[in-house]
A = this chain, B = another copy of it.
Amino acid sequence: MTDVKELATRAKAASRKLGRVDRATKDRALLATARLLRDEAGRIAEANAKDMERARASGLAGALVDRLEMNAKGIAATAAGVEYVASLADPVGSRDSMQRLQNGLLIGRQRLPLGVIAMIYEARPNVTIDAAVLCLKAGNAVLLRGGKEAAETNRVLGELLRQALTEAGLPEDAVGIVAPTDREGIKEMVSLTGLIDLAIPRGGEGLIRFVAENARVPVLNHYKGVCHLFLDEGCNPKMAQDLTINGKVSRPGVCNALECLLVHENVARSILPDLGRALLERGVQIRGDSRTCELVTGAVRATDDDWGTEFLDLVLAVKVVRDIDGAIEHIERYGSNHTEAICTESHTRAQRWLREVDASCVIVNASTRFNDGGQLGLGAEIGISTSKLHAYGPMGLEGLTAEKWVVLGDGQIRN
A359 in the interface (beta carbon within 8 A) = yes
Contact status A20-B356, CB under 8 Å: yes
Measured CB to CB, the nearest residue on chain B to A108 is B376
Q: Mark A113-125, 1 if CB is under 8 A from B, else 0.
A: 0110000000000
Task: Please measure, in the bound complex, the distance between the C-alpha atom of A364 and the C-alpha atom of B106, giving whole angstroms.
Answer: 10
Chain A facing B: main interface SS? mixed
A83 to chain B, nearest CB (A): 22
A105 in the interface (beta carbon within 8 A) = yes
Q: A355 — which chain B residues lie within 8 A by C-beta?
A: 20, 93, 110
A71 in the interface (beta carbon within 8 A) = no
Task: Please measure, in the bound complex, the distance between the C-alpha atom of A364 and the C-alpha atom of B110, giving whole angstroms.
Answer: 14
Task: Please measure, in the bound complex, the distance between the C-alpha atom of A398 and the C-alpha atom of B198, giving whole angstroms.
Answer: 22
Task: Please measure, in the bound complex, the distance between the C-alpha atom of A350 and the C-alpha atom of B408, giving whole angstroms.
Answer: 9
A57 in the interface (beta carbon within 8 A) = no
Size of the A side of the interface (Cβ < 8 Å), in residues, is: 69
Given contacts A392-B403, A402-B392, contact A413 B332 (CB under 8 A): no
Task: Please measure, in the bound complex, the distance between the C-alpha atom of A364 and the C-alpha atom of B404, giving whole angstroms.
Answer: 14
Of the listed stretches A163-171, A236-244, A282-290, name the one at the interface; the rest are far from the partner chain: A236-244
Q: Which of A91-112 contact B (CB under 8 A)?
A: 93, 99, 101, 105, 107, 110, 112
Task: Please measure, in the bound complex, the distance between the C-alpha atom of A359 and the C-alpha atom of B406, giving whole angstroms.
Answer: 10
Contact status B363-A409, CB under 8 Å: yes
A183 in the interface (beta carbon within 8 A) = no
Measured CB to CB, the nearest residue on chain B to A238 is B411
Contact status B246-A405, CB under 8 Å: no
Number of copies of this chain in the oligomer? 2
A250 in the interface (beta carbon within 8 A) = yes
Measured CB to CB, the nearest residue on chain B to A240 is B411
Q: Which of A342-377 contact B (CB under 8 A)?
A: 350, 354-356, 358-367, 369-371, 375-377
Contact status A365-B107, CB under 8 Å: no
A394 in the interface (beta carbon within 8 A) = yes
Measured CB to CB, the nearest residue on chain B to A353 is B406
Contact of A406 among B93, B218, B250, B354 (CB under 8 A): B354
A304 in the interface (beta carbon within 8 A) = no
Q: Mark A256-297, 1 if CB is under 8 A from B, else 0.
A: 000000000000000000000000000000000000000000
A148 in the interface (beta carbon within 8 A) = no
Task: Please measure, in the bound complex, the distance between the C-alpha atom of A361 and the C-alpha atom of B403, giving whole angstroms.
Answer: 9
Q: Mark A295-324, 1 if CB is under 8 A from B, else 0.
A: 000000000000000000000000000000
